[in-house]
Structure 1
């Protein structure tokens, strides 16, 4: 698991038990809150797009693919 602020564009994440790819990440700072991240993500299985806002300190599952040699 990684913090949302550590996730980069083109990383594959597990969101709502579905594999998603991060297509866009915009960072917003407000006076009251910490940083928030506005993501555009795409479901890999259905090709549907979702826009969502996350707090930077939230943890999220990142899927890491390994190459077999």
Structure 2
């Protein structure tokens, strides 16, 4: 047994799936783009910041701090 108690509220919450880290390659479903995570929420940063995978002229973009639109990019 894990020792974790499940309350009525968290029994209905979806299980956390993936938390992006610096340097991870992530697909952002809201932007329909794939990029490298260059900043993560915390210490004055309020969203994920991503940079195009291969650089270039495409601008960087942000994704929500809860990571709800991000998933691991397919290789």
The 1:38/1:55 distance shift into structure 2, 3 A limit, reads closer
Structure number with higher strand proportion: 1
Larger radius of gyration: 2
TM-score, normalised to structure 1, is 0.52
Change (3 A) 1:60 1:26: closer
- In the alignment, structure 1 residue 14 sits paired with structure 2 residue 23: no
Residues 40 and 49 of structure 2 are in contact (CA less than 8 Å); yes or no, is this contact kept in structure 1? yes
More helix by share: 1
**Separation of aligned partners in 2, 1:18 and 1:7:** 15
Gaps of 5+ in 1: 29-35
Q: Take 1:55 and 1:40, find their aligned partners in 2: how far apart are those partners?
A: 9
**Structure 2 residue 60 is matched with structure 1 residue 50:** yes
Alignment of 1:1-69 (within 5 A): 2-3=17-18, 6-15=19-28, 16-27=31-42, 37-47=46-56, 48-56=58-66, 58-63=68-73, 65=75
**Per-residue displacement from partner, 1:8-55 (whole Å, max 9, x unpaired)?**
010001122322001111326xxxxxxx84222111245334242414
